[in-house]
Structure 1
């Protein structure tokens, strides 16, 4: 069996070391400036990628970050492990009791947060210049794809932002995660439909199969709950064994949903949420895994995502104009939708504003969606760059807007109790 060439391994190790060092450093700087660490972590990849370093130090980046797909796939695989575990531990801390009590609120926020930007995105796709369509792409398929890109949220970015800002225990944080997960599930389903439209066409069988797989994952996860409780209880006080069980279950669940043509992060999130309901995962038992993910694996993931961004295409005036228009549609659509859903549920205007801010973060999920569009020939390089811009700007907008709104929302007694449950974990990773 062939082994990994020594030169390829050396480059991979240097890539991980350089990206992680820069991501951690810029993440710390972002915190000092009052922003979540994710802002600096994303910027690490942007600085080392085609947006900056490729132009200033082409020889250096050609050596450290070669364009060879195989080399990049190694880095991408390591980063994917980080995002799966990040989403998984987020699911563990999801308060399902709150969801049962306020499920309709999350459903309204999710529904309006999907439909409004989806409709605005489809309308924009029908009006944008033909030069932004991929060669041979159908205008209707392009419009539907743009609508899907506008309606998604980014669970990894939302989760990291809420963790960094200490808002995960707040009701608004829990509702944002829940509505975002609904949005993501529907978004990936819609993306599978638009992918079929661009390739083999949409059939009733294709749609029914996707819906069936989605339901199968949820049902299977909760049927497995008693087994997961026994597994976690059997680990006793051995924190290492507990971490092993958590990681194995999350990864296998991610593999299962990926095999069903659903997103891997959906499986990791569902697995985490179910294990969190067993009552066996305490803050102390989760602390080692959470520290590793937040301090190492998540920064590596976000830095790697930044490498895919090339902002130099925005120097062309026509592309910049289209980018600003699409960005405005994306922001207004998501804010209006989430705000309307929250307001109809009786939440205060500040809670509604905070929900809109959290749901507005598109992040790396939007980058993944854009890559699918580029691969299918629906997008040009310029349109891809526009969608990436939406991902970056909306992720940067979320923290200051959340901070502004949540200063005006007094914590409840239930929220303070929930915060104490995970206080040892936050203390283990230092202030954010």
Structure 2
């Protein structure tokens, strides 16, 4: 007969999978589904699930791993793209809701410590929530995307620093100069020690690991676990919580220990263990601690906390954002994007409940606040970004420009000549002769395997705004597009799909937010021959009414010998013709026959 905790774990994981899957299907982060399923199946409603000491231990390990993974996802280089406006958004989006949350609890006769804890919880924001929504709304190449990401990272880091002080203060248990000095001294020593280890020791460790070629991924994963747990223990020794150590470990492991490819491979495994196994246990069991009685006994407080969180986040962000010079409309838009809460807020609230700083009622209010605010993000952000578009205020981020094209065949070179009139274009091809020929025609081309990161790195993929896969091999096109998406975060991916491909190609395009080149499945070979032999004609057609690219293709039939390659706007700017675009009135289409 199975041990009771094994059955509990089985049921919790099944519940987490169901809740997360349903939430994801309707466009929300899995965390919300896991919380909901915990509330529904736990003691709050049906009472079908319960926890145990063994399951609780796994849940605590889950939040440590999750915070480490959040640290791994942070790239400080990205913060430089919008550091000043991001800092303004983070400060305003944290201070104002923090103050509203704090004074709301004080007004209801709560303790100062509980009020500070609630203030932190309503001040944080959810990076994971926005990442998915930014992709869905096609905002990754806009300025607000970089400001949102920077603001979220700064806001959560600020919350964790304040949280560290509170945890140390709780452990000391008294208010005097000596106690405060002890807390501050231990915290400072912790941050100094972890920073020195990360900056000086990790690179040495990385060099030693790189010299041993026989090491397998399992060994690297073990090293990652040791570092995370070691840093977590350092935080505990310093009187802080282990999640602070895990977060710092994740930050420094990203750059210091492993090579780019090894880090990518090991992070995938770490993600699966943390996000797929351990973290869901924490979020489902967190739902067990929610009490629905707050809707009867503390409904007014619940409403005020949610209103303070929403209004404080949006107005606070907009107000503090004004010195950026980017306008109050953009400030409100960023505020609506930062309104969602998530992992960090629930983790902080859960620890507060464990330590007795906040009551079950306050914890329940914070959970419902996280759910309510996260639900608003897709609707508010969609409305405000459309508002910016109509006003002509949605600014593209200029830190990424130009095109990276896989393929140096005659059609790729032909397109590159058009696109190169307005932007930098770089071609990649393994064929030395094609590369040399492209360079002779004045198009920058690099010889190399497009499936290798070093090739894309040599082509400055980190700076490119659009990736185009233009070879006759569907598999290579899709795999290289995935590499451009996963490793170099190129926001726009356009992939040639040939007629012989099956439905999997379209599915993969959707998964990475990519679009099909020429808005139709296209056989590359005939066009390469026509261009090479000079047996083609270039034509232009101006559009009177706005039409989707796919409809333009359909209106001309699928087998009419026409290949639309470029769209030219009224200012003369050129862009590739692809499925995920529309042709607006007075724009022109360049096509070949």
Q: What range is the shorter-chain TM-score in? A: 0.7 to 0.9
Q: 1:184 to 1:298 in 2, by over 3 A?
A: same
User: Secondary structure of 1:152's match?
Assistant: helix
Mapped partners of 1:79, 1:369: distance in 2: 12
Match of 1:322 among 296, 301, 307: 301
Q: How does 1:218-297 map to 2 (within 5 A)?
A: 218-224=191-197, 225-233=199-207, 234=209, 236=213, 238-278=216-256, 280-282=259-261, 283-297=264-278
Deviations 1:245-277 (A, max 9, x none): 222111211121122122222211111111212
Q: Which residue is equivalent to 2:59?
A: 79
User: Secondary structure of 1:361's match?
Assistant: coil
* Alpha-carbon distance, 1:48 to partner: 1.8
Mapped partners of 1:273, 1:358: distance in 2: 22
Normalized per residue, the structure richer in helix is: 1
Match of 1:123 among 103, 113, 116: 103
Mapped partners of 2:113, 2:40: distance in 1: 32
Deviations 1:90-143 (A, max 9, x none): 222312123356444444334333332333234323432x5xx5xxxxxxxx14
Q: 1:414 to 1:268 in 2, by over 3 A?
A: farther
Mapped partners of 2:279, 2:238: distance in 1: 25
Q: 1:202 to 1:90 in 2, by over 3 A?
A: same
Count of aligned pairs: 392
Q: 1:248 to 1:413 in 2, by over 3 A?
A: farther
Mapped partners of 2:295, 2:159: distance in 1: 32
Mapped partners of 1:49, 1:393: distance in 2: 20
Q: Does 1:202 align with 2:202?
A: no
Q: Which residue is equivalent to 1:149?
A: 118
C-alpha contact (below 8 Å) 1:89/1:272 kept by paired residues: yes
Unpaired runs of 5+ in structure 1? Answer: 1-5, 55-60, 134-141
* Alpha-carbon distance, 1:287 to partner: 2.1
Q: Which residue is equivalent to 1:184?
A: 160
Q: Which has the larger radius of gyration?
A: 2
C-alpha contact (below 8 Å) 1:120/1:147 kept by paired residues: no
Q: Which residue is equivalent to 1:57?
A: none
Mapped partners of 2:308, 2:38: distance in 1: 26
- CA root-mean-square deviation: 3.7
* Alpha-carbon distance, 1:333 to partner: 2.1
Q: How does 1:19-418 map to 2 (within 5 A)?
A: 19-54=12-47, 61=48, 65=50, 71=52, 73-100=53-80, 102-128=82-108, 133=110, 142-143=111-112, 145-152=114-121, 158-162=126-130, 164-165=132-133, 170-171=145-146, 172-190=148-166, 192-193=168-169, 195=170, 200-224=173-197, 225-233=199-207, 234=209, 236=213, 238-278=216-256, 280-282=259-261, 283-311=264-292, 313-316=293-296, 318-347=297-326, 349-350=329-330, 353-354=333-334, 357-358=337-338, 360-361=340-341, 363-368=345-350, 370-371=352-353, 375-376=356-357, 381-402=360-381, 412=397, 414=399
Mapped partners of 2:319, 2:484: distance in 1: 31
Deviations 1:25-73 (A, max 9, x none): 221222221222222122121122122112xxxxxx3xx526xxxx2x3
* Alpha-carbon distance, 1:209 to partner: 2.8
TM (norm. structure 2) is 0.57
Q: 1:368 to 1:298 in 2, by over 3 A?
A: closer
Q: 1:104 to 1:52 in 2, by over 3 A?
A: same
Deviations 1:163-216 (A, max 9, x none): 5557698522243123211122113424654x47xx943112222333333332
User: Secondary structure of 1:261's match?
Assistant: coil
User: Secondary structure of 1:328's match?
Assistant: helix
* Alpha-carbon distance, 1:149 to partner: 0.9
Q: 1:366 to 1:17 in 2, by over 3 A?
A: same
